[in-house]
Structure 1
Amino acid sequence: MEDDFDIAVANVDALPAHIYRDDSSSSVNLLEKFSNIPLRIRGRAEAWEVPRDQIKLASKIGEGTGGVVYLCRWRGLDCAAKLLSTASKVSVEYHDMINEISTISHLRHPNLVLFLGACTVSEPLLILSEYMAGGSLEDRFDLKKKQLGRPWKPSRIQAINWCMDLSRAVCFLHNCTTPIIHRDLKPANLLLSENDHLKVSDFGLCKTLAKVKEDGTPYTMTGCTGTKRYMAPEVVLSQPDYDEKVDIYSMAMIFWYIFKGERPFNLIEPQLISLLTSSRGLRPDSRAIGWPELEELVECMWAENPKLRPSAVEIVSKLKVMQSAANASSEDAKVTCKCKFNCVVQ
C-alpha cells in the first residue's frame, strides 16, 4: 500500500515536461508545487529528515524566544541543535520554525550557517546545523567589552571582512529565484566560525511578510528590545508593501555597530527607538565609523526612502574596493626587520 511519501513523489514525477523548462514562470510553478508538499514528506524526499536517536544532546549553548540551542553530537560531528520549546502547533514559535526549516533546507552559501537536517516527524521540532564555535557577533563584542572595561573595536580589516561576509549572504538571499528577505538581521543572529568567518542564522521570520498571530493581532519581531535597534522604519510603521530593502537598513546599523563597537542608540530607552527612527528620522552619527567612503555608503543604506538604498549587489561591489584598500594599507604598514629570520613587524 502506498504511503504519503510514495504519493507525493508520484505527484512530482507526474509534473508535465514543460514545467522543467528553464524559464522563470516554470521555476515559480515548480517551487509552488513543492511548497504544497507536507514538510515531513519533503524531509524524506530531500533526505534531510534525521532520525532523532542519532542526535546526542550535550550542553545548552543558547536560548531565545521559543527555542533552546544545544551543542550536540551527530554521526561523529559536533553540531548545534535548535529545539522548539513549546509543543503547541498553533503557536507563533511553531510556525516560525516550520518556516525556517522550509526555507533553509534549500539554501547553500558559504556565509549562511549550514543546515544539516531536521526532525519533523515527532515532537519537539528540531533543526540541526553546523556548530559555530566563535559564538554570535554580539557575544564577541560583549565579551571584549567586559575584558577591556570599555567598548571594543576590531581592526579595520577584521571589521570590513565581517561587513563583506554579511553583504555576500544578503546578496545571495535577495537574488534567489524567489527572493528571500531575512527581516531579523542583528548581531545576535550573526555567528562566527572558529576562524572568525561570519555567517547568517535564524530564518524564522524570513520571507513571510504578512504574518499575524492566531488571535489576529499584528505579529511582532523576535526579541523586540534588541531588534528595534536594527529595524527599518517601514517595518516599524507596519507598511504592507515593504521589500528586501528592510535588510539593507538593518545592515547599515550592523556596519555602524561593528566599527563603533557599541549598539546603535545605546543611551536611548528601547521603547523610544522605533518612534525616533521612523517618525523623527533619527540615525547614529556616521562619523563614528571613521572611514569616509564607508560612512557615505552607510548613510545611503539607512535612507528614509527605501528606493534610495543601494542593492546588496551594489554594496558588495563597493565593499570590495574598500576591502582591497584596507589590505593594501595593511601591507604597506608592515616592516621587515634585518635579522636572519626576516621577521614581519606591524
Structure 2
Amino acid sequence: MLRVITIRRTSSGYHSHRSGEQNKDVGGTNEVIVNSGSKKKKKQTDDEEEEEDEPVYIESSPCSRWQKRRETVAQRDIPGIDASYLAMDTEEGVEVVWNEVLFSEKKISDIQHNKISEVFDKLIELNHMNIVKFHGYWQDRTKTDDRPRVVFITEYMSSGSLKQFLRKTKKTKQNLSKNSWRRWCIQLLSALNYLHSCEEPIIHGNLTCDTIFIQNTGLLKIGSIAPDVLHHHVKSNSDSTAKNLHFRAPEIDTELTHITTAVDIYSLGMVTLE
C-alpha cells in the first residue's frame, strides 16, 4: 500500500502535511511517496527464510528428550551402524548423533535383548575426556517394516574425524609437528588404558583414523566403540568396509573366538604410522 505525503509551500518554507501534523522543513521536491509496502514484503521474506532454516524433526525418543532430524551424519564409515542422523537434545540444548542399528531377523530372543542392554548400560557409564560420550539407548521396532532395531545417542563431533583433518593438512602441505603427534598419542593411550582397565575390559576392535575425532582445540576423542560390540551380539545388515583392513589386528579376521586388548594396541600403532 502506498502512502502519499503532500508538500505545501508556506511563507517559512516547504512543509510536509500528513494526517494534520506539521513536520520539519524539506526542500527541492513537491511530493514525497513513502512505499510502506516494500517493508512489509521484506519482513514477509525474512519470515519465510526463518521458516526454511528451522530444522525438521521426524522422530522422537520414547522419553521425548532426543528429536531426530532429516540431516544425516556422514563423517564416518562404521561397520554395524545402518544410519546416523543429527538430533537435538531438548534438555541440554545441544546437537547429538542419532545412531540406528537394524536387525535382519524379525524376532530376537530375550537373551540377546538382555545382552544388548547389558553392553549399552556399561557404555553409558563411560566417562573420559578422550572418549565420545554415550547419552542413552533404547530398543524398538521400525515403523516401516516392523524390524527390531537399536537406537543409541552419542556426542556430536562437529569438527570431523582425524582422517579428514590429516587430508586437509596434506592438501596444504603442512607437516605435523612432533609435539602434536606426541600429544595425540598420549591422549589415545589414555583413552585405551581407561577402556582396558574396566572391571570387564572393553575392547574397541575398530580403532582407525575414521573412528577418532578431533576438536578445534586439538582434543582427540575415540568414538564408535559400540559397533564392534554389536557385531558380536546383533546381526546387522551392514557389512564391514575393506578400506580399513590394514588397521585391524590379524587375529580379528581369523577363526579365534577370543580376542584380547592387544588388538587395540595393534590398531593404535597403525594409526600413529598413518
Same fold (TM over 0.5): yes
- 8 Å CA contact 2:72–2:85 kept in 1: the answer is yes
Q: Mapping of 1:50-61 within 5 angstroms?
A: 51-52=63-64, 54-57=66-69, 59-61=71-73
Distance 1:235 1:221 in 2: 18
Aligned position for 1:101 = 120
Closer, same or farther: CA 221–59 of 1 in aligned 2, 3 Å: closer
The answer for the alignment partner of 1:246 in structure 2 is 263
Indicate if the aligned counterparts of 2:130 and 2:220 stay in contact, CA closer than 8 A: yes
Cα separation, partners in 2 of 1:142 and 1:191, compared to 1, 3 Å = same
TM-score (norm 2): 0.60
Map 1:205-220 to 2 at 5 A: 205-206=227-228, 211=232
Structure 1 residue ranges without an equivalent (≥5): 1-48, 258-346
Q: Which residue of 2 aligns with 1:138?
A: 163
Q: Percent identity?
A: 21
Relative to structure 1, the CA distance from residue 256 to residue 130 in structure 2 (aligned partners, 3 Å threshold; closer, same or farther) is same
The alpha carbon displacement at 1:221 in A equals 9.9
| Bigger strand fraction | 2
SS in 2 for 1:166: helix
Q: Contact 1:186–1:254 at 8 Å: present in 2 too?
A: yes
Q: Among 172, 193, 211, which residue is 1:189 paired with?
A: 211
Q: 1:115 aligns with which of 134, 141, 150?
A: 134
Unmatched 5+ stretches in structure 2:
1-60, 143-148
CA contact (8 A) 2:87 2:98 kept: no
Find the aligned partners of 1:213 and 1:68 in 2 and give their Cα distance: 15
| Contact 2:102/2:237 (<8 A) preserved | no
Q: How many residues align?
A: 200
Aligned equivalents of 2:241 and 2:82: distance in 1?
A: 16
Greater fraction of residues in helix:
1
5 Å-filtered alignment, 1:22-41, equals: none
Of 54, 70, 74, the residue aligned with 2:85 is 70
Q: Encode CA deviations 1:140-189: one digit per residue, 9 max, x unaligned.
A: 112333x32x5x54222221111111111100011101111111111111
Alignment partner of 1:125: what SS?
strand
Residue matched to 1:83:
99
Equivalence map 1:188-337=2 (5 Å): 188-206=210-228, 211=232, 223-257=240-274
Tell me how far 1:57 sits from its aligned partner: 1.7
1:264-288 CA distances to partner (integer Å, 9 max, x unpaired)? xxxxxxxxxxxxxxxxxxxxxxxxx
With over 3 angstroms needed to count, the CA separation of the structure-2 counterparts of 1:53 and 1:77, relative to structure 1, is: closer
TM-score for both structures, normalised by structure 1: 0.49
Q: Which structure has the greater CA radius of gyration?
A: 2
